[in-house]
Amino acid sequence: MNFARIALAAVVAWLVSIPVGYLANDVVLSGLLAANAAALRPEAAMTARLPIGFAAQLLGFFVFAYMYAKGYEGEPGIIEGARFGVLVGLLVNCFGIVWNYVMMPISGSLEVGLMAEALIEPIVYGAVIGAIYTPLPKRTAERAAI
């Protein structure tokens, strides 16, 4: 496993996630979020907690990139990464995002938007990680195992 590439892929995907997250939440979903404001923290409170979210997200990208590397099957990176992102997005939706609708008073429209976001974004991040991650050459990997 190429840990330097895993780290690089994680950091680059995290950097890509910042404008993508802004586009998704502050542009595409902004109307739906505003319509469901009663179920959300006030904007100032969310802004104050952004460093917590960004730190957790960076850690998550290291896990995401590591999982990708563990399951790497040798196909073209962007395609394999996007496919991995689909699986992660479905997992996140089924184990997490759907529970927003179950537990919080949000509209079905917002829930669908959040589920789409939670599916599309990991596809993008998987493609980024797939484009960057490459395993160690066989000889280097054999030496590392000794």
What is the tens place of the pLDDT at every residue in 17-68? 999 999 999 999 999 999 999 999 999 999 999 999 999 999 999 999 999 9
State how many domains the chain has: 1
Inter-CA distances, 31 with 35, 46, 109, 124, 130, Å = 6, 17, 11, 23, 33
- pLDDT of res. 137: 80
pLDDT (tens digit, 9 = 90+) per residue, 83-107? 999 999 999 999 999 999 999 999 9
Question: Are 72 and 80 within 8 A, CB to CB?
Answer: yes
Q: How far apart are CA 59 and CA 56, in angstroms?
A: 5
- pLDDT of res. 64: 98
Q: Which residue has the tokens 């496919």?
A: 83
Question: Are 131 and 81 within 8 A, CB to CB?
Answer: yes
Residue type, 108: G
Question: Are 127 and 89 within 8 A, CB to CB?
Answer: no
Query: 95 is written with which tokens?
Result: 């184990």
**Domain extent at residue 10:** 3-145
